[in-house]
Structure 1
């Protein structure tokens, strides 16, 4: 992808993401329908659906040859990453959106032949936009993010994880995760994978571990973390798969080996 195409895509996507944020804030003040998907805690609202439709309509009107993967199913049936593919989560952190009316984000990753070109994560209620362009760094609004701290140690690290990992997950050695909680400086759970990736890129947490994310949960964050020198892999160390669900470890490279060798053991 050449620089002119990247610049055009970035300008348009920023415009649409701010418009979508305005729409969400307006719709939050009105009654909206809440449904469940895979289970009682997997929520979706009319606002999620309307936001995804907004992006699909704009993308298809301007870039009819591009493909689109969206959480709510308004995109295409995508079986390969050839060409330009948009991967969108209209509201990442729907439970937070419903219960807290904060701590949720719009997440958009744009890929060309499987390579992450542009990532945007918009913290809607805080009006903070994280952006990354391949080879051009990452930004929090207009401020460029610094490379991740190369002096971080596990003992001084803040680790984000889904709280269910430490007590109920059958796919990971829970005793080692409990030891990680003891050995690290602290743990956090924000309820939005996109924001957890953004916070890692910003350097306010040092790792994020979860046992299941869909591509729309991490597509933008993967690009953002790459641009500040972080690493994102499946929890077994394999490369991530942008077409299927993944376990995910994203972290500062300084603690990657320690996390993988001492604490993350899949069953």
Structure 2
């Protein structure tokens, strides 16, 4: 994707993200219809569906040759990332949206022939937009994010991870993960994968570790983290499949091998 085309798509995508966020803020106290998907804690609301439908309509009107992968199923069924593909999570952190009315984000990643070109993560209620274009750096609103520090040590790291690592041994023995938490400086849980990626890029956490995320959870964040020198792989260090669910590690590159080796101690 050439620079002029990318800039034009970025400007349009940014406008739509901010507009969608404004609509959510306007309706934040309206009654919601809340349903569940894969399990009782996998929530979807009328606002998730309305927001995704908004993006799909705009993209189809303005870029009919582009493809869409969306969490709520309004997009295309793809077997490859050929061409330009928008990967959208209309509300990442739906449980936070429902229960807290904050700490959720709109996440839009735009890929061309499998390469992440544009990433937008919008913390709707805080009105903070994390954004990046490939090779042009990453930003928090208008402020450019600094490259990640290269001297972070394992025992000084703050890592984002949720409680499943400590009580669910499907991937890694929970006792190993309990020791992992004891050996790092601290852990945090924010309830939104997109925001966790943004915080890694900002450098306020040094990594984020999760058992299973879909492409729409990570697509924008990968682009943003890349632009500050971070790395994103599965928990074995392998390349992610952007058409399937993955275990995910995104972090300061100085920590990647230490974390992967620690996880391998407890792998099933």
Q: Same fold (TM over 0.5)?
A: yes
- What is the RMSD of the two structures over their aligned residues, measured on CA atoms? 0.8
Counterpart mapping for 1:166-181 below 5 A: 166-181=166-181
Q: How do 1:82-121 residues align onto structure 2 when only pairs under 5 Å count?
A: 82-121=82-121
Matched with 2:154 is 154
User: Any gaps of 5 or more consecutive residues in structure 2?
Assistant: none
Question: How far apart in 2 are the matches of 1:252 and 1:177?
Answer: 19
The answer on whether the counterparts of 2:201 and 2:230 sit within 8 Å (CA) in structure 1 is yes
> For the residues of structure 2 that align with 1:18 and 1:212, how far apart are their CA atoms?
28
Cross-structure match for 1:266: 267
Residues 169 and 102 from structure 1, CA distance in 2 versus in 1: closer, same or farther, beyond 3 angstroms? Answer: farther
- What secondary structure, in the 3-state scheme, does the structure 2 residue paired with 1:119 have? strand
Q: TM (normalized to structure 1)?
A: 0.98
1:35 aligns with 2:35: yes
Q: CA deviation at 1:257?
A: 1.1
Figure out how many residues of one structure are paired with residues of the other and give that number. 267
Contact 1:179/1:263 (CA < 8 Å) preserved in 2?
Answer: no
Runs of 4+ in 1 over 2 A off after TM superposition: 262-266
- Partner SS, residue 220 of structure 1: helix
Distance 1:151 1:235 in 2: 22
SS of alignment partner, residue 172 of structure 1: coil
Give the TM-score taking structure 2 as reference length: 0.98
1:171 CA drift (Å): 1.4
> For structure 1, which runs of at least 5 residues remain unmatched after alignment?
none
Q: CA deviation at 1:230?
A: 0.6
Matches within 5 A, 1:107-256: 107-256=107-256
| Residue 261 of structure 1, CA deviation | 1.2
Partner secondary structure for residue 28 of structure 1? coil
